[in-house]
Amino acid sequence: MIFSSITFLFFFLPIVLAIYYIVPKKFKNLVLLAASLIFYFFGEPVYVVLMIVSIISTYIFGLLIDKYKENSKFFLILSICVSVGILIYFKYTNFLIENINLWLKHKIDFIYVALPIGISFYTFQMISYTVDVYRGDAKVQKNILKLATYISLFPQLIAGPIVRYTTIEDQLENRTHTLEKFSNGVRRFIVGLGKKVLIANVLGELANKFLGTNDATVLFYWLYGISSMLQIYFDFSGYSDMAIGLGKMFGFEFLENFNYPYIATTVTDFWRRWHISLSSWFRDYIYIPLGGNRVSKIKWIRNILIVWMLTGLWHGASWNFVIWGLYFGILLLIEKLFLNKILDKLPNIIKRIYLLLIVMISFIIFNGNGVNEILKNITGLFGIGGISAISSESLYYFKSYLIVLVIGIIGATPIMKNFFQKEKLSKFVNCLEPIFLVLILLISTSYIVDGSFNPFLYFRF
């Protein structure tokens, strides 16, 4: 079940909200836990058991780490090994077999392992919980139902943001429910739904048109690069908006996950704004424990490359994801070692063009199916290989999707937000906002009912 589905919007969510607000406070977490397990059951009936086993394992390790201080490091390592081991088995088994087979005379057979949706997200949440208990940053949770609610919480279960236990530790016990918070949550959810259905899905159609054509031109390569870049942003940030909005409806405050990354001026700035919960997780639980930048230059370079190789692998069991991660790692090193000194002297517009080109190429790598396809799609941007600049087909798609592209480009910046927040427009905006939100909901629903292109990219993670 995904948020942008009729089942979720008009059946699951209203029923859960009604029950949640009817029951007394002491039963609200229980309602959320039951709803979360049912939500997960819709997508992965078998792997609900895996999630429950993982929750019980994390709960036990948390108690052991807290009780046996002298052996807490041993239990922490064991808990991480169990969590990572499960992740590796379900996500990377065939990737490992494929690469091992390159060196073997007698090949190992592949095994069928379905990837449990959201396993990368909830595995990182479980690891952060046990690490924070070990460090003393979080109190051990002795109520397994509360811990289970945190790990399985359906608003952020399958696609993040990666919510740390310390963020909602107090909220599991005491959270406020107000009409203002609920209405803000509804507003945030509808905006996210619109970003997902009306922008990301439509641009995803354009990207698919390119992948299915035999008439690739320079114009079409650029349309593919720009539409892919905007699609993944609106797809994932839209889903994060919906998750944050749902959290507010149930009284939770999740941290922001995106902050207009496409207005960044450097790669470092971009990763402060893009998938914030993931980049901060790798910083606090991998990069800093490795020594961060408080080590020799060689070890610092090693730390950067390890973190970004793992970041790439986290996204998927394929070499294009590893290349994608190392691509960003190398660019970060280049910037920090010397390029920032040059960039600092350039106008912001030049720096933003530089960043957008870097990011567009990165998502061509991210979406690539093999090195040959990646190189073809990158070189095609610059007309290498003697391809024509334009064709009637590419021009047709350019005209057909121009309005959505323009909306996407403007929407990826804070231009409209800043405009409507002006004091002179506040009364006007307050009057029209409810109408605008209802229109977004109605139009999005019509697209969903129509059975239009409605994937979710991050399900594969």
183-192, 266-275, 365-374: segment of lowest average pLDDT: 365-374
Q: Is the dihedral of CA 386, 391, 394, 399 positive or negative?
A: positive
More confident position, 411 or 214: 411
Tell me the CA end-to-end span of the chain in Å, nearest whole number: 15
Q: DSSP H helical segments within 161-296, as ranges?
A: 165-173, 179-194, 201-211, 218-249, 267-273, 276-282
Active site residues: 315
Distance CA 326, CA 334 (A): 12
Q: Give residue 40's identity as a one-letter amino acid code.
A: Y
The DSSP code sequence of 17-75 is HHHHHHS-GGGHHHHHHHHHHHHHHHH-TTHHHHHHHHHHHHHHHHHHHHH-GGGHHHH
Neighbour count for residue 141 (Cβ, 10 Å): 23
More confident position, 216 or 105: 216
The DSSP code sequence of 92-140 is HHHHHHHHHGGG-SSPPPP---PPPTTHHHHHHHHHHHHHHHHHTSS--
Angle at 281 between CA 279 and CA 284, to 5 degrees: 110
Distance CA 89, CA 154 (A): 24
456 has a pLDDT exceeding 90: no
Q: What percent of the chain has pLDDT over 70?
A: 97
- pLDDT confidence of residue 453: 58
Q: Which two structure tokens, joined as six digits, stand for 243?
A: 């998750």
Q: Give residue 29's identity as a one-letter amino acid code.
A: N
The DSSP code sequence of 319-379 is HHHHHHHHHHHHHHHHIIIIIHHHHTTS-HHHHHHHHHHHHHHHHHHHT-SSHHHHHHHHH
Q: Is the dihedral of CA 152, 157, 162, 163 positive or negative?
A: negative
**Tens digit of each residue's pLDDT (9 = 90 or more) over 52-99:** 999 999 999 999 999 998 999 999 999 999 999 999 999 999 999 988
Neighbour count for residue 67 (Cβ, 10 Å): 11
Distance CA 380, CA 166 (A): 47
23-37, 359-373, 376-390, 440-454: segment of lowest average pLDDT: 440-454
Q: Is 266 left (phi over 0), alpha (psi -120 to 50) or beta?
A: beta
Scan for tokens 């944050």, then name that residue: 244
**Tens digit of each residue's pLDDT (9 = 90 or more) over 306-363:** 999 999 999 988 999 999 999 999 999 999 999 999 999 999 999 999 999 999 999 9
Beta carbons of 308 and 324 less than 8 angstroms apart: no
More confident position, 150 or 213: 150
Distance CA 191, CA 417 (A): 12
Q: Which two structure tokens, joined as six digits, stand for 364?
A: 């061509």
Distance CA 453, CA 240 (A): 19
The stretch 233-258 carries a mean pLDDT of: 95
Distance CA 420, CA 417 (A): 5
Beta carbons of 121 and 152 less than 8 angstroms apart: no
Collapsed DSSP state (helix, strand, coil) of residue 212: coil
Angle at 166 between CA 160 and CA 169, to 5 degrees: 100
The stretch 186-215 carries a mean pLDDT of: 92
The stretch 440-456 carries a mean pLDDT of: 79
Distance CA 287, CA 290 (A): 5
Distance CA 159, CA 180 (A): 26
